């Protein structure tokens, strides 16, 4: 389950722009559910998916996708390691 508020805060802390690239609107609503994109390519295995959070511009309906696991990995790589 995606914590939408936490995801928005994390994106904002990284300087993600709130403006819609089509209408420049700034009001977004979370999608009803996560989106699973099928992964294709030479190293992909059957059933490989990329799970994303969808946000929808309330003005024009543009859909933007963010991969929360990338944000998690970036935060993990910035944490100090025990020596």
* DSSP of 37-64: EEP-STT--TT-EEEEEEEEETTT--EE
Instruction: Answer whether 53's CB lies under 8 Å from 4's CB.
Output: yes
Is position 79 within any domain?
no
Is position 77 within any domain?
no
Count of Cβ atoms closer than 10 Å to residue 34 Cβ: 15
Tell me how many domains the chain contains: 1
Residue 10 has a pLDDT of 86
Is position 80 within any domain?
no
Is position 78 within any domain?
no
Residue 81 has a pLDDT of 58
Which domain, by its residues, includes 57?
Answer: 4-72
- pLDDT beyond 60 at 36: yes
Is position 34 within any domain?
yes
- pLDDT beyond 70 at 39: yes
Is position 20 within any domain?
yes
pTM: 0.72
Is position 83 within any domain?
no
Q: Which helix (H) or strand (E) holds 70?
A: helix 68-78
Residue 32 has a pLDDT of 83
Count of Cβ atoms closer than 10 Å to residue 18 Cβ: 13
Is position 82 within any domain?
no
Mean pLDDT for the chain?
85
């Amino acid at each position: 389950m995606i914590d939408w508020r936490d995801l928005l805060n994390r994106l904002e802390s990284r300087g993600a722009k709130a403006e819609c690239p089509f209408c420049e609107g700034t009001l977004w609503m979370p999608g009803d559910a996560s989106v699973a994109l099928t992964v294709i390519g030479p190293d992909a295995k059957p059933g490989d998916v990329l799970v994303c959070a969808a946000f929808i511009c309330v003005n024009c309906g543009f859909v933007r996708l963010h991969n929360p696991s990338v944000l998690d990995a970036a935060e993990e790589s910035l944490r100090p390691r025990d020596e």
